[in-house]
Structure 1
Amino acid sequence: MGILPTPIGTSAELTLESPDEVTNSGGSAPEKNRHRRVAYPWLVFALTFALLLSDYMSRQVLSAVFPFLKADWALTDSQLASLTSIVALMVGLLTFPLSLLADRWGRVRSLTLMAVIWSIATLFCAVAANYEQLLIARFLVGVGEAAYGSVGIAVILSVFVPRVHSALSGAFMAGGSFGSVIGVALGGVIAVHLSWRWSFAAMAVLGLILVALFRALVTEDRLSAHKVGQDSAPSEPSVRPDGPNVRVPISTLFTSPAVWCAYLGGGLQMFTAAVLLAWTPSFFNREYGLAPDKAGMVASIFVLLIGTGMVMCGMITDRVSRTNPSAKWTSAIAFCVVSLASLGIGFQLAPGPAQLILIGIGAFFAAGSSGPTAAMVARLTHESVRASALGTLTVANNVLGLATGPFVVGILADRLGLLAALQLTPLVYALAIVALIFGKRWYASGVERLHRWSAAASDHVPAR
């Protein structure tokens, strides 16, 4: 898809890390089998990422048709807002339990069911006859989308070696930004030329096509055949490969201080990114005097910067942490520091090129720690509960960042003004930095603890 260039953890490198590939090293494996093993993980990534784009396109297309719904059904702004917030509410409430269920029931089956639910629910949006029916349909969209991000990234990480997890996680999570932009832009064009109902229908059809491809090409058996165990740096204890019957207790998601720091650092660093996503259109409208449509277009550039930064920062992190996995923590801290400084200074300046440049730099690094924190959570938790672990991180991202940030800034803006509220927002990075510093300090003990859990769980697996 052009997002992850091959120099960062090429497929050839990835193949050598698989246990069967190590066995077949030396040229004994047929060339066509080697190429097949190289290609399949990237096929999994491409299809899972495409479904994530569909996820956010189905979620955000609503924003493009707000004016049409308001005109056709005479809806109030609060009713329009409820159609958006109901999806976020379901995601916040259901991510963890559905991720836990996916770890037990099967991740491929879970992802397939989720995509079918949100696609059909989006189709229901297209035929809704009134506000109440549309609200119910949007409720179902939220149910379908709730755990897709956490389970999807768990599937992807299972077939790639940990040294590229930051780049993959950053790219996958950035799909939310890219999908939102595509959904709003495409939905608006379709609504103008056809109708708002066709905007929803187009997203639904796309989702159903993609889920059919995903189900045909991605299976639990093929994922198991390509699964890659945890690799370790020389300074870390090796973790024995995760067999299909090896499971650890759910409590292991919360008993490591290092993983708690990753949850907290990841959620807090999303606070300011969420504020930028929600409030930059209003900022350009009020501070630069741009009309709402032009303010939205300018803001979309900064949204794309946030998404691009998530990808690039993940790639940078994988580069600097190849021989020292704990450097992921250092990278995450550095990204927070850069964004804190850039945005903190930028929002203090008068409107103009210097301010835009600094805000652009801050936006690029605003969510740059997302990939590293997801990779840390994956490294500090057992594969058998990894979707649940990443679901916990998703909850932290939503509770501490995506939901809280825009709401808090809205309250502050009512009292201090939007610019003053935005000037205070970057200070939250200081809390994220503290959490990440402590996480780095406890990282080695967290990896050692994972080693003991894995060993104990493996010892209790009945022999076949």
Structure 2
Amino acid sequence: MWRISTRIRPANCTPCSTTILTICAPRPRTLKRPGAKRFRLPHTAFSARAETLADPTTPPPARVPFSERGRRGDKDTIMAQESVTPPVEAPDASGVECPSEEEWPIGRKAAIFSCSIVFLLGVFDFIDRQVVASLLPYIKDEWSLSDTQLGMLVSVVNISISVLVVPSAYFIDKWSRKKMIALMGAIWSLATGACAFAGSYAHLLFARVFIGAGEAGYNPAAQALIAAQFPKRRRGTAIALTQLGMGLGAPIGLIAGAWVASHWGWRHAFGLVAVPGLVLSCLALFIRDYKSVDMRADKGESAKKKSSLADYVAMLGVLLRTPSLLCVFAGATLKLLRTGAAMNWMPSYLMREGGMSPVQAGSVSSALFLGSILSMVCIGPIIDLTRKYRAHGIPLVIAVCFLLQGGLQLLAFTALPAGGWTQIAVLFVGGVFGGGMAAGFSTIIVDLVHPGARATAISLMVLCQNILGFALGPVVVGFLSDNFTLGTAMSLLSFAPLLAGLAFVVCFFTYRRDAAKVDCVNLSFEG
């Protein structure tokens, strides 16, 4: 028990600053309960009370009612009663305390509003990009264009995105995310509307270049902003919803463009889908953004200076030397290589190998795409559930999904009859496993990258996806089809998700080491 002395102060006592008394902590005593081993209570449990009483500004500890006290000898209960100071979260290596993962940085309603705007902008992003695919026959008849010229109308958007995505990310990280979202949305919407007034093929091609310029900075800015506004335990679901909007926009653009063109002409289709994007771009200005932060580790005088282009290049070098990020870039590129090739060649495969009519082949291909949309709906909660138990297990979940997708597709193209319902069902299940993994890519990148470089890291992934994925996939399958058969080409294409799965297996082993290098930063949001 405690004793009070006014004359002698042992070495293990703490003087009280408000009285002349000296509060002395007793020696650690040994307790024993029936049927249990002896254990010793640590002296720190009592020193916390002595230190608290030594501060005159600290209120005295609350007395625990006798009815709420635990049994004599219950170690955890005694420790909880004696310790009155709550645990303090230790700062990280940079000296900044990590924010709680359970908090909503800007509030639940404001975060949901931001996610809704980003989701709808993602829908019209891909509507404006893909609407031209359903209008190609009408444009070909009006201007007597070749198939090469028509294909250029589609490819020029990806080329423009590839050229401008990294420069756009510089302004996203250094300037403002919400302003870049609004600016990008306005650019691609105005460019889509300008397509309706094109007087020649050159004018239409030039307008399509600006559609890609607007879409270049949208995805990195949206992912970086949404990741910061939601608590970490909900981050996977929030990012998956933004990716779902893009997935829904592609089929909506094809259906809406064909319907409007058949009733009022192809020019009206461009004009109709451009208006909602302009409205949503204005609403994006009401999103709460966080203040840009510097990635440089030192917080001295050099951090007060404005970051230069050399600092940005150095930051790119840091990102490209992170093993886990390189694995994500490789896996995402292989995934898009398979997706880009399948979207363009699956109808032809079903017609040549399965004997389907063009209408049947198009319908089945659209149904297979629904499996990817279902995957986008499921992957977000799965990522959040995995994070709850083991955060570094997220790459392993993605790897398993890709390996299952690749195995099922290899089985469908090599062992099952082409165009049969069994093959279609197996391909659909494979699409469910691996079709919506884009949210997982962005989640890993956000976890492994400083907030001041997240948009840049995502832009590097988008660059690899567009150059080596969407652009290269159809060409590779066409080359293999010319030298072998289309069925053989589709079978070999199944190895892309298998290799992507292996890349994320490697990421699983490097994830924790790279995550430990990331500094925790308290982001400050606009009022």
Say which SS state the counterpart of residue 120 (structure 2) adopts: helix
Amino acid at match of 1:17: E
Decide which structure has greater helix share. 1
Determine the C-alpha separation between the residues in 2 that align with 1:285 and 1:255: 45
- Equivalent residue in structure 1 for 2:240, among 170, 173, 186: 170
Amino acid at match of 2:472: T
Say which SS state the counterpart of residue 277 (structure 1) adopts: helix
Q: Offset of 1:244 from its aligned partner? A: 13
Match of residue 27 from structure 1? none
Q: Deviations over 1:127-185 (max 9, x none)?
A: 00110110111111111111211211111111112333333333322333210100110
TM-score (norm 1): 0.82
Amino acid at match of 1:426: S
Say which SS state the counterpart of residue 389 (structure 2) adopts: coil
- Confirm or deny: 8 A CA contact 1:267 1:396 kept in the other structure: yes
Match of residue 72 from structure 1? 142
Are positions 1:341 and 2:410 aligned together?
Answer: no
Match of residue 304 from structure 1? 370
Determine the C-alpha separation between the residues in 2 that align with 1:67 and 1:96: 34
Say which SS state the counterpart of residue 401 (structure 1) adopts: helix
Are positions 1:350 and 2:417 aligned together?
Answer: yes
Match of residue 59 from structure 2? none
Judge which range, 376-385 or 270-279, deviates more: 270-279
- Confirm or deny: 8 A CA contact 2:185 2:214 kept in the other structure: yes
Judge which range, 263-272 or 388-397, deviates more: 263-272
- Confirm or deny: 8 A CA contact 1:51 1:210 kept in the other structure: yes
Q: Offset of 1:259 from its aligned partner? A: 1.8
Are positions 1:155 and 2:225 aligned together?
Answer: yes
Amino acid at match of 2:103: S
Judge which range, 391-400 or 337-346, deviates more: 391-400
Match of residue 31 from structure 2? none
- Confirm or deny: 8 A CA contact 1:246 1:384 kept in the other structure: no
Match of residue 237 from structure 1? none
Match of residue 323 from structure 1? 389
- Confirm or deny: 8 A CA contact 1:268 1:401 kept in the other structure: yes
Match of residue 10 from structure 1? none
Match of residue 230 from structure 1? none
- Equivalent residue in structure 2 for 1:410, among 478, 492, 495: 478
Match of residue 390 from structure 1? 458
Say which SS state the counterpart of residue 230 (structure 2) adopts: coil
Number of residue pairs matched by the alignment? 408
- Equivalent residue in structure 1 for 2:489, among 403, 408, 421: 421
Say which SS state the counterpart of residue 127 (structure 2) adopts: helix
Match of residue 103 from structure 2? 18
For the structure 1 residues 433 and 448, does the alpha-carbon distance in structure 2 shift closer, same or farther, using more than 3 Å as the test? same
Amino acid at match of 1:150: P
Q: Offset of 1:15 from its aligned partner? A: 9.8
- Confirm or deny: 8 A CA contact 2:102 2:232 kept in the other structure: no
Are positions 1:144 and 2:214 aligned together?
Answer: yes
Amino acid at match of 2:130: Q
Match of residue 206 from structure 1? 276
- Confirm or deny: 8 A CA contact 2:331 2:500 kept in the other structure: yes
Q: Offset of 1:382 from its aligned partner? A: 0.4
Judge which range, 314-323 or 373-382, deviates more: 314-323
Are positions 1:85 and 2:152 aligned together?
Answer: no
Matches within 5 A, 1:259-278: 259-278=325-344
Q: Deviations over 1:69-100 (max 9, x none)?
A: 11111111111001111001011121112112
Q: Offset of 1:117 from its aligned partner? A: 0.8
Amino acid at match of 1:262: V
Match of residue 287 from structure 2? 218
Matches within 5 A, 1:115-126: 115-126=185-196
Say which SS state the counterpart of residue 356 (structure 2) adopts: coil
Q: Deviations over 1:385-437 (max 9, x none)?
A: 11111111212222332222222111111221211100111112232222212
Match of residue 49 from structure 2? none
Are positions 1:284 and 2:350 aligned together?
Answer: yes
- Equivalent residue in structure 2 for 1:360, among 405, 416, 428: 428
Determine the C-alpha separation between the residues in 2 that align with 1:170 and 1:358: 24
Amino acid at match of 1:103: D
For the structure 1 residues 418 and 167, does the alpha-carbon distance in structure 2 shift closer, same or farther, using more than 3 Å as the test? farther
Judge which range, 174-183 or 114-123, deviates more: 174-183
- Confirm or deny: 8 A CA contact 1:121 1:141 kept in the other structure: yes
Match of residue 431 from structure 1? 499
Q: Offset of 1:122 from its aligned partner? A: 0.6
Q: Deviations over 1:246-288 (max 9, x none)?
A: 9996233223212221222222233222222222222222233
Match of residue 293 from structure 1? 359
- Confirm or deny: 8 A CA contact 2:180 2:217 kept in the other structure: no
- Confirm or deny: 8 A CA contact 1:151 1:391 kept in the other structure: no
Q: Offset of 1:60 from its aligned partner? A: 0.6
Determine the C-alpha separation between the residues in 1 that align with 2:304 and 2:164: 26
Q: What stretches of structure 1 of length at least 5 have no aligned partner?
A: 1-13, 21-35, 228-242, 459-464
Q: Offset of 1:125 from its aligned partner? A: 0.3
Determine the C-alpha separation between the residues in 1 that align with 2:232 and 2:404: 25
For the structure 1 residues 179 and 244, does the alpha-carbon distance in structure 2 shift closer, same or farther, using more than 3 Å as the test? farther
Q: Which has the higher contact order (CA 8 A, sep 6+)?
A: 1
Q: Offset of 1:188 from its aligned partner? A: 0.8
Q: Offset of 1:224 from its aligned partner? A: 5.8
Are positions 1:184 and 2:254 aligned together?
Answer: yes
Determine the C-alpha separation between the residues in 2 that align with 1:161 and 1:412: 46
- Confirm or deny: 8 A CA contact 1:99 1:387 kept in the other structure: yes
Match of residue 103 from structure 1? 173
Q: Deviations over 1:264-320 (max 9, x none)?
A: 222223322222222222222223333323322221111222122123123222222
Match of residue 233 from structure 1? none
Determine the C-alpha separation between the residues in 2 that align with 1:374 and 1:19: 20
- Confirm or deny: 8 A CA contact 1:333 1:369 kept in the other structure: no
Amino acid at match of 2:163: L
Determine the C-alpha separation between the residues in 1 that align with 2:147 and 2:437: 34
